[in-house]
Amino acid sequence: MATINFAAREITPKIVYFGASGAGCNTNVERLWSLLKGKKKSPLHRFGPKEPQERSWYFDVVPLRDPPVEGFQLCWRIYSLPGGIEDSAHREEVISGVDAVVFVADARPDRNQANIDHMLQLEALLTRIGLELSVMPVVLQVNHTDAPDARPTEEVTFDLNPYSFPVVDAIAKEGSGVEQTHHEIAAAVLARVRDTLAGEDAITLTAVHSDPISDADVIQHHLENIQSRSQATPQSTVDEVHDSDTDLDEVPSVEIPFQPRDFVGSHPIRVLGSSIEGGRVRIVLEMERMGGGASRRLIVVLANRPPDTPPMPRASPVAAPPETEVQDRVFDYLPDQDEIDRMEAQGDDLPGVWYGVLGVAGGIVIGLLSAYLVGILI
């Protein structure tokens, strides 16, 4: 969470170098401190657990080459968080408020699983403070590329780079790739700071109106926070699988179908990690395409919340009309008796007696005409 100080006209983003033990997080910060030229630069500090564990390194710098942003100069706060530090309070204190991450991967062949484990740890740490790795500014540095049996960069990053982060090869102990890594991550953060100042919701800027605190005060503040975090009762966020059927009642399993649009044609082959955050279960899966190709990482989040409304009652089915008896279709054209009676009641025709009179008269006329014609003929 970057700070924008209106009194000092400074914006202070926070960058954390994260990686497995021995990958070169501390070496990167130490070499970067010696290489960067700045308008002002603090001494290099170390703080954290006592030996033999590793410790975090820290310094801040206002570089010479970074241009002002809307009249504010950038003051970078650089931290290392090596994997050898197991104190959860220290890890959470260093990662809190982070604006960007440099993940330092080890190119040596026996460090592949350590790289993967620490990438998953990074995701879990970010999720715990409400951040998503997929949308964070991240640079993936592949260190120890000078090792005799160093793996190719593409092989090192195969399982570490599902979000297409920029990749930099480095030999940190010699300073190779160290400045390039910093410039890559600084450019990504700088773009997001500009977007935020332009009104876009890119990152969170905390506004202050005071003189900037000294680097010694920053370290003291961290140590106090670590102590208070250590004294607080930690809440476990990792879900343990219960293999024993004696401690929990057996219940039916719940099947939840899912098929993300971007993963159509893929199927899960491995569970990379899982955690519980509040009422949400977070599962990291490795997905493999049906037709082959590179595997991809998918994060499935199960929200444990009851339905907001009761289920809608089902509508009763519409009753089918009763079947009618099939009649002989030959006589369907004949009118019913009711229709005949109704036609007779209308009284449109002459009475029946007149039909008889007309018939007799017609017969007489026909007879006379017939006799006349016969007489003529004879």
Chain segment 266-293, per-residue pLDDT in tens: 778 777 666 666 566 778 777 776 656 6
Report the amino acid identity of residue 203.
I
Q: Which residues pair with 58 in a beta bridge?
A: 45, 79
Q: How confident is the model over 153-164, as a mean pLDDT? A: 92
> 2-231 belongs to which homologous superfamily?
P-loop containing nucleotide triphosphate hydrolases (3.40.50.300)
pLDDT for the residue numbered 335: 59
Residues forming a β-bridge with 338: none
In three-state secondary structure terms, 280 is strand
Taking the complete model, does pTM exceed 0.75, yes or no? no
Residue 152 preceded by cis peptide, ω within 30: no
| Confidence tier at 86 by pLDDT (50, 70, 90) | confident
The whole-number pLDDT of residue 189 equals 92
DSSP code, position 328: -
pLDDT of residue 241: 32
Q: How many residues does the chain have?
A: 378
pLDDT tens column, 140-149: 999 999 999 9
Sign of CA dihedral 149, 154, 159, 160: positive
Among residues 113, 54, 110, which one has the least CA distance to residue 84?
54
In degrees rounded to 5, what are phi and psi of residue 40?
-150, 145
Confidence of residue 340 (pLDDT cuts 50, 70, 90): low
| Average pLDDT of the segment spanning 341-362 | 65
- pLDDT value of position 201: 64
| pLDDT (tens digit per residue) in 33-66 | 999 988 899 999 999 887 666 899 999 999 887 7
Look up residue 243 and give its DSSP letter: -
Q: Any idea which residue has 């030996």 for tokens?
A: 51
The mean pLDDT of 232-239, rounded to a whole number, is: 38
Q: In the predicted model, is pLDDT for residue 162 greater than 80?
A: yes
Can you give the pLDDT at residue 21?
Answer: 93
User: 336: pLDDT confidence band, cut at 50, 70 and 90?
Assistant: low
Lowest-confidence region among 15-19, 190-194, 223-227: 223-227
Mean pLDDT, residues 336-361 taken together: 64
Dist. CA 26–CA 33, nearest whole Å: 11
Name the phi and psi angles at 372, rounded to 5: -65, -45
Pair of tokens at residue 183: 């410039």
Residues 94 and 56 sit within 8 Å (Cβ to Cβ):
yes
Average confidence score pLDDT of the chain: 78
End-to-end CA distance of the chain: 138
Instruction: For Cα atoms 322, 327, 331, give the angle at the middle one, nearest 5 degrees.
Output: 145
- Per-residue pLDDT for 245 more than 50? no
| Per-residue pLDDT at 222 | 85
Whole-number Å distance between alpha carbons of 169 and 154: 11
In this predicted model, which residue has the larger pLDDT, 318 or 262? Answer: 262
Please tell me the distance from the alpha carbon of residue 181 to that of residue 188, in angstroms, as a whole number: 11
Gap between the Cα atoms of 127 and 275, Å rounded: 10
* Nearest Cα residue to 177 out of 111, 107, 74: 107
Domain boundaries, the chain: 2-231, 265-303
Percent of the chain with pLDDT over 70: 69
Contact 89, 226 (CB under 8 A): yes
